[in-house]
Structure 1
């Protein structure tokens, strides 16, 4: 048995981990360049976007084959994506400058923002000169990586059991361009758990599949999606406890991203069961999170179950209208070929859709595959935010 207790300080809940942010002038009046630093070299695992046009920071990590680091430099407002070899050279130049200010071990740079623009190296170097490398502000770092986010996303836990104890904390950013494939927008997780090196990557990938890979805001996959897991190895370790704690961290951050979807007013869980297998359940659930017609129905609080059925039928999974069941929470609107959607049922379903968060259940009645995906509605504000993104 083990206990997982919420604690404060996000990624800085770990002894020897420092973080902060400064104002470099990329945003009007907020932190926009941040750092994570460790007293010791950290073992790391990471997952990156499967977008074919991966950004320069991702290419740099792969090129250097980085397995350990003690410093991550992050900036917002510029993705450093589709910038070619020059984008990688810009990173090398910036990190070389960083090394003149503090001892670093295979430093990493992570970026988010506008695609197709070279980094302003001078501003970033001036930001580095402002860093207090001994600062321990997870919140400032969380704010520094925000773009269209409306709030900071951070969490931390202490885990105790017969094996001993360890801590784990995380920060993330993301609100738009969210349909992760192997990762999310940007996420940084620190821990002192003494995880065997050969388990880190597999555990991160496993938990990512049911958290960040189960969310969608708008169906778009970024060029910069990244998840980093870093450990000091100074705590204790239990595999079951660590997986559960990592799941809590990543699920909290993933759901915060859905809740913060650009202009979103609803956060909805699509619970698909009875699919032929887990993969088909995931296909159906993700189709529902990405459907524009479903999203607009959510925004309008319209229990238009026909859009849900249509999306399932178009998703490519095995399905049969005589076996299908659709419910808004506990209100069944369609049951194995029978339409139950009368005036009273519609009113009940509409009341459920007025909530900020709720679940829609879809039972395909075919097999035992199940998967839950998380999405949000599509509002007028989403169009406005993205129409004005560069201006």
Structure 2
């Protein structure tokens, strides 16, 4: 048995972890743009990266390390993705780390921002050399890694085991646009003092990513820099695999849902729940088609319960379906029922009221099997165009 408790604080509340964020000159107006995570003992580290074929230099730099390497330092910059920068992008990272006056081992770099520009190396070097590695300021770090995010994204949990021992786990993340269920356009740094065996880390990351970060969509675009890092310094000497699996799922789900809620200009976070599909795989295809559909997203923005867009998107996904078995609901309001149009003025009004909420479900019962999957998305409105039309400026 175990107990999982959400607690107040940031990743620096976990024993042995330190962090901070500063303004190094990458962003205008004094906004924070450079941060770090430091552990006073070496951490085991595992990662999941974007499936975009043009992976950014920080991802390639990480993958140049030997398998099962340990680290004690992560450097994160915003405003510049260091992507499509070739070998120079990797060389720049090595030059930055070789110029730092901190005692660091196998340092990791993570970047987010505009693609196709070389790193402003000297600004990053000067900023990183000003870090106080004894700082504990998770709020500053959460702000330093933001790009188009409207708000910081953090969480922290404590897990109490039956033997009286306990461990903590928390995360800090960024993500609001270029979010597609192919990991998602995001950075997420998960820190724990759990004594998790190295071989469990990748397994549990991979298990949980499928229904969290790989199940969300803001705009259907996948970036070059998507990264999830799991860092474990094991200082608690406490661990239980089932407990860790569940709390890791909660951490990743929390961060994923905050990204959907913060979808650039979004007002609504929506769960697309497909049930009774021919298989789990087909349910996933249909659910992700719904979360990615621009027509569905704009209908949600207009608070229009247009079930035709829902049905059309499912059919276009090419999964096995039959309109004589299909049931579509907004929360508990059924708008299409097994070939019968039940969309009266009263039903439309009730469904429209559901869409006025900032969170709700679109439930699609295909009625052809037992497959299920839930994808998560948001509406898409004018603000998304404004943000991305002016992104580089």
Shorter-chain TM band: over 0.9
Mapping of 1:51-200 within 5 angstroms?
51-65=52-66, 67-98=69-100, 101-163=101-163, 164-182=165-183, 184-200=185-201
Task: Give 3-state SS (helix, strand or coil) of 1:51's partner.
Answer: coil
Hey, what's the Cα distance between the residues in 1 that align with 2:83 and 2:73?
21
TM-score, structure 2 as length reference = 0.97
Deviation at 1:184, TM superposition (A): 4.6
1:346 maps to which residue? 348
1:179 Cα deviation after fit: 0.6
**What is the distance in 1 between the residues matched to 2:135 and 2:275?**
47
Alpha carbons 1:11, 1:156 under 8 Å: kept: yes
How far residue 181 of structure 1 moved from its aligned partner, in angstroms, is 1.8
* d(CA) in 2 for partners of 1:158, 1:349: 39
Superposed CA offset, 1:145-167 (max 9, x none)? 00000100000010102142110
Question: What residue is the counterpart of 1:274 in the other structure?
Answer: 276
Structure 1 residues not aligned, in runs of 5+: none
CA distance in 1, matches of 2:330, 2:8: 36
Q: Is the 8 A contact 2:102 2:129 kept in 1?
A: no
Any residues of structure 2 matched to 1:1-391 within 5 Å, and which? 1-28=1-28, 29-65=30-66, 67-98=69-100, 101-163=101-163, 164-182=165-183, 184-235=185-236, 236-391=238-393
Distance 1:195 1:278, change over 3 A: same
Task: Tell me how far 1:278 sits from its aligned partner.
Answer: 1.2
In 1, Cα distance between equivalents of 2:8 and 2:331? 33
Cα distance between partner residues in 1 of 2:292 and 2:181: 12
> Is the 2:184–2:223 contact (alpha carbons within 8 Å) kept by the matching residues of 1?
no
Answer yes or no: is the 8 Å Cα contact 2:172–2:190 preserved in 1.
Answer: yes
Quick one: distance in 2 between partners of 1:139 and 1:183? 23
Task: Report the alpha carbon displacement of residue 11 of structure 1 after superposing the two structures with TM.
Answer: 1.4
Deviation at residue 137 of structure 1 after TM alignment: 1.1
Q: CA deviation at 1:68?
A: 1.2
Offset of residue 20 of structure 1: 0.4
CA contact (8 A) 1:270 1:361 kept: yes
Contact 1:34/1:73 (8 A) holds in 2: yes
Deviations 1:273-314 (A, max 9, x none): 111111111111110011000000000000000000000001
Normalising by structure 1, we get a TM-score of 0.98
Gap regions ≥5 residues in structure 2: none
Contact 1:48 1:183 in 2 (8 A): no
- The farther-off stretch of 146-155 and 230-239 is 230-239
Aligned residue for 2:75, secondary structure, equals: strand
Q: What is the deviation of 1:180?
A: 3.9
The count of residues paired between Structure 1 and Structure 2 equals: 389
Q: In the superposition, relative to structure 1, how do residues 206 and 184 fare at CA in structure 2: closer, same or farther (>3 Å)?
A: farther
What's the secondary structure of 2:122's corresponding residue? helix
Q: Distance in 1 between matches of 2:21 and 2:154?
A: 15
- CA separation in 1, counterparts of 2:36 and 2:370? 45
Instruction: After TM superposition, give the deviation of residue 190 of structure 1 in Å.
Output: 0.4
Secondary structure of the 1:190 match is: strand
1:39 shift after superposition: 0.5
For the 8 Å contact 1:184–1:213, the answer to whether it is kept is no
Q: Distance in 2 between matches of 1:9 and 1:25?
A: 28
CA contact (8 A) 2:16 2:235 kept: no
Distance in 2 between the 1:138 and 1:386 partners?
28
Please tell me whether the aligned partners of residues 267 and 377 of structure 1 are also in contact (alpha carbons under 8 angstroms).
yes
Measured in 1, the distance between the counterparts of 2:66 and 2:76 equals 19
